[in-house]
Amino acid sequence: MRRLKALRSLKNKVVLITGGSGGIGQAIALEAARRGAIVIVCARQAAVLRQLATRCMILSGRPAFSFPLDLTDPDAIDDVLTKVRHEVGEIDVLINAAGTGELVEVTKQSQAAMAKMTNVNLLAAMYLSRSVAKQMMDQGFGAIINIGALSGKIPVPSSAVYSATKAALIHFSNILRMEVADFGVQVLTVTPGPVQTNFLAQADPDQHFAAHFPAWMFISPEKLAKQIWDSVGYKRREINVPAYTAQLSWLYQVFPGLGDWTIKKVFDYQQNRQQL
């Protein structure tokens, strides 16, 4: 635990972030840079990554790196981790922030979309966590942060596969936490409600899904990033933001039948309004 406390300051710490080309991942990268970290960003869009790395370098006054990465390719993940260790050094903090979604009913979803969500949201995070956890256990400290979602704890219509990947990631993180706890490695899961990013616009181009959520339910990615970094280096195991998300997930665990009925009624009501 004593060595883990060193992560309460990110100065000169090596931080690897997936999904860094936008949204939550980008906000996490920029906040890490403000705190003096050596930032590494990974995603598919090479040009966007280079621009982000430059911004991080200016903010931190330290080197920053970008590695294009297709998270659906396990061999590519291994190759990037090898490059990081050779060109940058050992990883102190891993943030699995990459995510993709398609918000439609299961019966309308293609196998390709299901596979992509599973590969990016779940399997890639598992592969990265496995490899980086080994290195962190050897060095005696580190932190792995996995970005889940509120829908991984309570059912949200039209998000069955996406939510299943997030639920699995939360459970994976809970078990990984127990396995690495004696080695000074923190595993932190983040389960936000709706976030003010382009995710919903991409996952639901018609915005039928987003219409179910009033503006007050959303959190900014910048605020979320600050809460994440403020929790690193401590024994904290989970972040639920905004505050109402913890209450909703608790209520659903205690009253699942009532929760199913209420959620369905809310979504049915909003859908009927959209059709008027």
Long-range contacts of range 54-60, CB-CB < 8 Å, 24 or more positions apart?
A: 55/30, 56/29, 56/30, 56/32, 57/33, 59/30, 59/33, 59/34, 60/32, 60/33, 60/34, 60/35, 60/36
Question: b/e map of 205-224 (b: 16 or more CB within 10 Å)?
Answer: eeebbeebeeeeebbebebb
Cβ contacts of 69 within 8 Å, gap of 6 or more:
18, 42, 43, 44, 76, 77, 80
The two tokens of residue 205 are 């181009």
Of residues 162, 244, 252, 269, which has the active-site annotation? 162
Q: Is 162 a catalytic residue?
A: yes
Active site residues: 162
